[in-house]
Structure formats: structure tokens, C-alpha cells
Structure 1
Amino acid sequence: MAPEKSPVLQVACLNCRKRHSKCSWTKPSEPSRIHEADASCDRCIALAETCIPGENTRFKHHSNELSPSDHQQWVKYPSRVRFIDETGDLEAIYNPDDNTSPALGFAFDSPTGVSHSSAPTPQPVEPTRQLHAVTHRGRRGTLPHNTLFTDARSLSSVPLGSRLGLYSDAGSLEGACFPLQSMQEARLMKYYLEYMCTWFDLCDASRHFALEVPRRAMSSPTLLNAIFALSSRHLSIMHEQFDEYASTRYHQNCLHKLSSISNDSSALNNDDLLAATILLRTLEELDVPLLGTDHEGHLLGIQVFMNAQDSTAVATEMRKAAYWIGLRQEVTMAFASQRSIKISLSHNFIDQSFSAGSDDVWANRIIVHCANVIEFSFGDGDQTASEYQALRDYDDGWLSSRPSSFLPIAYAPADTISGNVFPQIVYMNHAVVIGVAHGILARSLLLCYDPTLPKLGPARMIAQQRREEEVQDEIRQLCGIALSNRGTIPAMFTASLGIASCGDRFSRDDERMALLDLLIKTETDHFWPTADAQDTLKRAWGWV
């Protein structure tokens, strides 16, 4: 008779189970050591992770002779639910959604009011307990994509004479930093290439920040350190075992260079340093809660770089790409802080016409329009009826002139009975998603800051009620777009911004739960800070 296998060895540890990887041990003859505190499987040792033993739980199936009554009334429930158990034992056995990676491809997900990152909709009596649990459990998670290398071998240079190297003179490769010698820095670069860069090239078919920025970083220590700083900051937020001080060290390395360029005209025209400032501005945004205080340190750096450009000079494609990303960042933070736009909107490459152009061009046009609306709403100038009408006219012109590629490729209306609070609106590409989302954001703001509304009499209440309904409809569409196009990650940030600004206008509990769920999903999936916005809305709704 064959010897009985140890039941412990047949159960993978929690980390290997989440990765669907084989869990192997260097000493299978010592199964009793597996549950010791210092024992780890081979994969956890290679990845420097804490090995958590799995539980060998089996379920026995048995028949149930009870059958439902012919008059049984069944409760409707959404197509997607997630069961939350707050005990550590059950969560350690199996927690499928903690390993959900951000979608990088085109996603056709159903935008429901109850989704993967939240508990089933509770009764209005106590709407905060489960949401609080979901939010804070999601602050730590597994890494999106395989950012960690699968073995613990030391990194080295390419062997001399190997075909993996370049057939070039040594002088032509001077300053090139690849291959990286540090395992941590290799992980950070890989994380940027696979995930962080997807936040940037949304309206750039040439994908400068995914393709050009890493290439430039080979010979630009400041740009390389900016990549490391951003990646390590995001990883430290989401993964408790990652060095939380690494980002600060790389950031300081960047500041040593950037702090000395304000009077150096050649440095101000350096596209590598501008790109580094854009990355550091993103890092800065990760530390600013939505509707919180923005210190604007690297925003000032972007202003210095862009204002140094001669108005008659031809901007490089890299500089244009950096500008459009910087403008989107500025729109987000200016809207959240309810302040005026601090980046120039008068560069000669900015096109506000309605002539034929690519999807990128059309998206950038409406983003500039959104910046103009923010300036109208939060700037120091008077909110005149004529200026307001000019902004409305531009929006109408953009809507009527945009190309057919801005049509949804799929649409489904909201269905509250089945739990789908938001419509499903799927678009063709990132630029279209971002363009439409910013158009909605601008439209919502114009509805809120309409100087033509009656100030007195019954007409005021009627007009105000109509405006409230229009704003709510715009926010529903914005949320539906973000949830239907998961591959366009920053659309979730834009939707969160709209919710944080206008979510207090909603009164139905199912819609409130769905709005709060999107904020939670944005933070748990992408670690974009929305906790303050969640708390503000709960107070506005009387939930706390």
C-alpha cells in the first residue's frame, strides 16, 4: 500500500493559491515544519513574501428534500455579488476579489450598482458599516500584473560579446543605464511599463509616455528616478511589504536636479525634465485626497517649463504630449479644489476649431473647453450671461461636429430592477472615453453655474429642479462610461471627481450606494485617494 500523503502538502499556501501557481517546498520530507512561523514555500521565498498556510477545507454535498412553495416570492438580486466575511480565518482561506487586477484591455463590464469591490447593497438603516469595511480592506492588495520577478537570481550586465547587447562602440552607449543592476529598480521599471504608463497616453496615439519616456530614461537620471519614484509610491500604497520610503529617496534625487533649473534656459527646454515633472505631479496627486488640499509643488514646475516656451517656437511632439497630460492633471485638481486654471491655454499648438482631426485632437479640444469652463466657474472674472452662452455654444458645436468614432459601440440603459443603476456606454478607444468624460464634466459645471437662471419667483424653483435632474443625468452617464470602459483607468478618476462634486444631489439610496461604490472601486482597484470624498458624501446624505 502506498504511503498516505500528508494533507498539509496537498494544500497550496494563500499566495500561491491567489496566483494559481504550484506551491512547492524544498523539504517535502518535513511536512510538520510547514506551519512553523519561519517556514515558507519556494515561491514565497523567491518573492520575499510572508507565506500564509492554506486551509484544507472540503464541502460535502447532500440532498435537500425541501422544495419551495408554489407561492414563494423570490427576492431580486444583481447579476454580480460579493460576499464579505470580516473574520480573518475565512478571509485567509479564500478571498477571490483581492487579486483582481486593473483591466488594461478594452473591458465590456456591466456597470452595476453592486460590483466586485463592494458588499451587496445593505438596507438604508445602516449603510456605512459594510462600506467602511470594504474601503479599508482594499487599502492593501496584490500587485496588478506580474510585477515581481519569479526567481531570486542576481541581476548582471549583458555578457560581453552576447547578441543581447548592441553592436556599437562603447562611447555611443555611455550613460545608458540598461540593463538595470538593482532587482528593486527592475521591478519598478516593469511596473511602470505594464501599468503606470497606462494612466498617461490616453490622447496620444504615439504613446510617448509608454514608449519614448522609458527610452529617454536610459540616459536621463532625473527621468529614471521620476519613474522609480512614481512606481514605488503606488506600490507602497497598495502593498504593505514594499519599502514605503523608497519613493521619497527617488523623489529627492529628482529634486536635486529640478530645484536648480529655474534660471537655466537650456534646462527649461529639456523635454526629459518636463516629462519627469509630469510623473512627479502624478505622484503628488496620489497624496492629495479628492476634495483635499493640493500643495501644487510640481504644478509650479510644469508652469515654469511650459511658460518658458517661446509662443512662436514649434513645440516638439514630446513636449506636446507632456502638455496635454499636464492639462488633464490641472483640470482634475482645479475642479477638485474649485480654483482657476494655472496652466496657459494659449500655446500655438492648441486647436479649438471644429475642423477635421483625429480622435486625439477632438478629445484635446473638449479638454481645453473644460478648462475654460472651470476658469469661468472658479476664476476671478465676472460670470456674464454672454460668456456663459459662448461656452454653451462651443459645447453644442463640439457635439454636433465630432466624428462618428465618438458614437458608442454599445449602449444599454440603466435597469434599477436588476441592480444596474448606471447605463452601459462602451466606446472605441481611450481618447473618445476621455473626451466624452471631460465634456460631461464641463456640461455638469455649466449647469451648476448658470447665471441665466431666474433669481426670484416660482420660475426659480422650477428651473432649479430641472437643472438638478440634468446634472444627475450627466453624472449617471459619466459613471456608466467609467465602469463600461475599465481599460481607460483615468476615466474612473474623472467619474470620482464628478461624484465628489455633485453626488450630494442624489436622493435615492440605490443610486447613492452605486456612487459610493464607484468611489470605493477607484480606491481599491487603483489606489486613487477617494476616502475623504466618501466621508463627505456620507455626511451630506446623513449616513454618519
Structure 2
Amino acid sequence: MNQTWVNSEIRDFNTNPQSPLEGGAGASSTAPANFNDPTSTRETQTTYNETPRNNPAFPVASTSQSAGNSPSYPSSPWQQATGRSPTDLPSNSSAYTVTHDASSPYGPPQDHVPSPRSHQPYSSGESTKFPLEDPQEACLLRYFVEELSHWLDLCDERRHFQLVVPLRARHHPPLLYAIFALSARHLSRLPKYKTPQGILYQGQLLPKLTPHDAVEYTLKCIPALRDFHLIQDDEKLESIIATAVILRQLEEIDDEEDQEQERNQRRNAKPQVNFLAIIDAVLRSPPSRTLFGRRSLIQAAYWMAVRQELYHSFTKRHPPKMILDPEYGHGASKANKIVLHTAQVAKWRWADGSEQEWLRLQKQGEVLEEEALKEYQPFYVRPADRSNGEIFPIIWYSSALEVTTMQLSIIAKMVLMAENPFLGGNSSTRAQWREIENQVRQMILDLCGISLCHPGCPPALVHAAFGMELYGDFFTDRYERRALRGVVDKFRDARAWPVQNLSKMFE
């Protein structure tokens, strides 16, 4: 899901994730998604029927140090705390078996299939003429393709937002305006492009570009988003979903310095546009559900929307609001299965909290991690050499997809370990808690090491910050805290993350 994409002005159009999805049709599902049973309802608790596994997905290590094949952590000591063994796990199955991904019940995506409904092109008055005549808009489109699209394509091997969306935007003005809005917000905020004469990008001086341009372009998207239910053309509907997903990125990185001002102004603020509500409503509409198995852009937009939910869940510490439809999980890639698993862990952490769901997620995570480790092994690992003052391990992966997949896998495992409901009260010992703290600390150090080793994947810094935000107080060693503060400073220098709270944590 490199950026400070939000200015206080755009908050007129910020998503309020608490509303209106907290009630009515948009309410978050209370049951986990079961991809084995497409007929299962969201109101029914889903079970996973699979033989319990005794082996943890991550091999046991003798110490909390990264064992040279990261991620590699000891299994959670929940068994010792309760006297249970893995055979006590409920006979729950996971759709995440160690076999190849199942194909979609709708068949493979067929983007070339003509729309079964009448084609309704945009009027010539709406479309933007290509080649673009405005150098500023040309720069905004180029900036999206070269600098921003990879954020949206992290788990997409086909890179829809880089390769498909710019072409689609030529014929779908709302999608093009969303691209302009996101690029204007980001490009106008980065110090490295600022000059006394204005923004300078690719040798083009853009003296008129300001953060307010993002507001203007967003306003141009609103009518199409508001009237999505009237759209009768498949391609236009698919483009509307991509438009809403791109616009939601405007709020993903927020400036903490502006939050107090925002709170003071909120009483008099204009009605906000809830992009999450739009995304959720469009995806759950019957036409979209029909499209999902046939067109790959809607699939890419859906999985990006789930990752956006992860961001908001971990930063705002509330459960995901988006409904995780079981049907959409059929045929998902290994990377997206881990995305969905992490979303379910976030929902358990901030909503469910039950022991039964923890057991299900623990087992599901082991299966997913076992699969991921088979496919996404790092090609170089070197543990930190403390004798030379090193704190973070060196861990190299071959792609942003692998980086994202393994970081989210670590985050999900870390939350389940740190929030283990079986390690409360008199049943757990201080030694068990110390072991958990050691493991969580090593996971955070691995997250940071991965992010520092992949500067071309700025979202990796955000994922590392998830761990530091949640469990940074586990660190007491002053050298480790100083090293973590250095990572926080990198966030600040890259303007990729609001670092005020993290900076205070590691002062």
C-alpha cells in the first residue's frame, strides 16, 4: 500500500473508516473467510478441517537471534502455558493447504472477454486527449507510473496499476483524475523536488503544482463514484473500483503534525467521502461479483483494498471494516492468502480476541508460512554481528512481492505470539514471557533488516513500523533503541511515514 500523501486540505475527502460501515450492509463480517466452502455465510463461524500439524512453520532456533535463514523463530510457547499440545487444536481446516493454489471457481481471468452488457463509452467531452498537452499532467501521469504504482502492485505479479491502469485511464477520466490527484499530493510534498521556482520533476518545472491540485482532481472523481450503481459497462465499473482504491491512498500516509489542527477543524468540516464504503459497496454489488472471476484488474484492486485495510487497522488499532468475502479467496496467490491471513489476525487482535479463533489462526498461519518459506526463501542472509556493532541482520529477497509477503507473515506471527490468550494469569511464568519478548524483538529487528536491505521497496519501511509501533516498548537495550531510532529517522528523511510517535518512543 516514499510518501506523505496527505495534506490537511484533502481531509475534506478523507475516509472515515468507522462510518458508515459499522452498521447495515457495510458492517464487518464476524466470521473468518472459508475458501473451501463458497456457500458458507459470513454469519456462520467457519471451521477448517485439516489434520493438525505438530511442526511449526518456522524451525526452532536455540536463541532469539536470527538464525541465518530469516524468518526463523522458535515456536510459540503457548503449549507449555496450558498443558496442551498441537493435537488439542480443533479439527479445523484451512483452505491454505500445501498444494498448488486452487483455480478460481469462475475460471482464469479473461480481461479480453467482451462485456455481456451494453457498452457505454464516456462522451468525447469527458475524455482527455492523448498525447497530453499539459506538461504538468504529463508529469503527474509519469510520476504515478514510475514512482507510485509499485505501492499498489506489491503483491501483483502482473503489475496492473503500472501496466494496465495508465492505459485504461486514457478512456476513463475518473481514473485519470485519481492518478493526477495521488501524484499531485505526493510530488508536491517531497522536499527533493522542491526549488525556489516550484516543483522540478524530470527536467520539467511545475511552478503551479500545489497540494491543492489533489483536492481539485479528487472533486472531479466524486460524481462517478457517487453514481457507480448506474454504470452498466463492465470496463467502466472495473475502472471505478480502481479509482476508489487509488483515491484511498491519499489518506494512507497522514501527517501527525496536522492532527491537532484537524481535530480543531473537524466540527466545521465538510461531509467526508468514505472511500472504503464506496470500495466495499462496489465490490459487493452483483455486477462486480460477476466480474471478479473474469477480469483481473478488479482482482488486483480488491487485494490492494485489503492491504489498505491492513494499514488502517495497524495504524489506528481497530479491526478491518471491509468484508472479506470467502468467494474472493478462491484461487488467490500465496502472497494474497498471507495478506488475507494478516487481515484476519488484525480482526482477531482488535475485535474477536477469542481463544478458538487464536487457535484457528495459529494453525492457519503455520500452513501459510510453510508454503511461503518454500517459495520465498531469501537468497542471502547474514545475522547481525553484535561484536562489530551490528543490530540488524542482512536479508535479501529478489522482489518486492517476496519482501511484502514475508514481512506480513512475520507481522501476523508476531501479533499472535505477543497477544497469546493462553499466556495470561498464573499459568504462565516470567521465563515464558521473557522468551516471547525475545522472539518478538528479533522479529522486529528482522523486519527492520529486511526494509533497510530493500531501499527500492519503501513500503517495507511501513511494515517495519507496524512492529515498532505495536511492540517497540519491548526494547530496553540502549544500542538496539538507538538503532531503531535510526530506522525511524530514515522514515522521516524519506517522508514515508508520520514518525512523531515513533520518535518519542525511541528518544
Give the C-alpha shift of residue 302 in structure 1: 1.5
Give the C-alpha shift of residue 289 in structure 1: 4.4
**1:252 match: secondary structure:** helix
The yes-or-no answer on 1:374 pairing with 2:353 is no
Q: Percent same amino acid at aligned positions?
A: 29
Give the C-alpha shift of residue 309 in structure 1: 4.3
The yes-or-no answer on 1:286 pairing with 2:253 is yes
**Structure 2 match to 1:405:** 375
**Structure 2 match to 1:343:** 322
Q: Residue 530 of structure 1 is aligned with which of 492, 498, 501?
A: 498
**Structure 1 match to 2:79:** none
5 Å matches for 1:450-461?
450-456=420-426, 459-461=428-430
Give yes or no for contact 2:488–2:503 (8 Å, CA) kept in 1.
no
Give yes or no for contact 1:444–1:474 (8 Å, CA) kept in 2.
yes
Which whole-Å CA distance do the structure 1 matches of 2:258 and 2:389 have between them? 29
Give yes or no for contact 1:291–1:336 (8 Å, CA) kept in 2.
no
Which letter maps to 2:189?
I
Which letter maps to 2:138?
A
Which whole-Å CA distance do the structure 2 matches of 1:287 and 1:297 have between them? 16
Give yes or no for contact 2:468–2:502 (8 Å, CA) kept in 1.
no
**Greater shift in the superposed pair: 431-440 or 240-249:** 240-249
**2:425 match: secondary structure:** coil
Give yes or no for contact 2:253–2:498 (8 Å, CA) kept in 1.
no
Which letter maps to 2:182?
L
**Structure 1 match to 2:447:** 478
Which whole-Å CA distance do the structure 2 matches of 1:501 and 1:230 have between them? 28
The yes-or-no answer on 1:422 pairing with 2:365 is no
TM-score by structure 1 length? 0.61
**Structure 1 match to 2:279:** 302
Give the C-alpha shift of residue 174 in structure 1: 9.7
Give the C-alpha shift of residue 244 in structure 1: 2.6
**Structure 1 match to 2:241:** 274
Say which one has the larger Rg.
1
Aligned length: 357
Structure 1 residues 200-222: Cα deviation after superposition (integer angstroms, max 9, x where no partner): 11211211100110001111111
Judging changes above 3 Å, is the alpha-carbon distance between structure 1 residues 327 and 516 closer, same or farther for their aligned structure 2 residues?
A: same
Which letter maps to 2:147?
Y
Give the C-alpha shift of residue 534 in structure 1: 2.3
Give the C-alpha shift of residue 194 in structure 1: 1.2
Give yes or no for contact 2:381–2:394 (8 Å, CA) kept in 1.
yes
The yes-or-no answer on 1:249 pairing with 2:182 is no
Aligned-residue Cα RMSD (Å) equals 2.8
Judging changes above 3 Å, is the alpha-carbon distance between structure 1 residues 309 and 336 closer, same or farther for their aligned structure 2 residues?
A: farther
Which whole-Å CA distance do the structure 2 matches of 1:454 and 1:282 have between them? 38
Give yes or no for contact 1:226–1:254 (8 Å, CA) kept in 2.
yes
Which whole-Å CA distance do the structure 2 matches of 1:390 and 1:377 have between them? 13
**Structure 2 match to 1:233:** 185
Give yes or no for contact 2:372–2:406 (8 Å, CA) kept in 1.
no
**2:333 match: secondary structure:** helix
**1:313 match: secondary structure:** helix
Structure 1 residues 306-347: Cα deviation after superposition (integer angstroms, max 9, x where no partner): 222468624120000001111111111111111111122224
The yes-or-no answer on 1:258 pairing with 2:225 is yes
Q: Residue 434 of structure 1 is aligned with which of 400, 404, 414?
A: 404
Which letter maps to 1:234?
H
Which letter maps to 1:326?
A
**1:286 match: secondary structure:** coil
Structure 1 residues 120-157: Cα deviation after superposition (integer angstroms, max 9, x where no partner): xxxxxxxxxxxxxxxxxxxxxxxxxxxxxxxxxxxxxx
Which whole-Å CA distance do the structure 2 matches of 1:320 and 1:481 have between them? 27
Q: Unpaired segments of 5 or more residues in structure 2?
A: 1-122, 200-209, 264-271
**1:450 match: secondary structure:** coil
Judging changes above 3 Å, is the alpha-carbon distance between structure 1 residues 517 and 299 closer, same or farther for their aligned structure 2 residues?
A: farther
The yes-or-no answer on 1:334 pairing with 2:291 is no
Give the C-alpha shift of residue 462 in structure 1: 2.3
* Structure 1 runs, 4 residues or longer, greater than 6 Å off: 171-174, 290-296
**1:522 match: secondary structure:** helix
Judging changes above 3 Å, is the alpha-carbon distance between structure 1 residues 328 and 296 closer, same or farther for their aligned structure 2 residues?
A: farther
Judging changes above 3 Å, is the alpha-carbon distance between structure 1 residues 376 and 512 closer, same or farther for their aligned structure 2 residues?
A: same
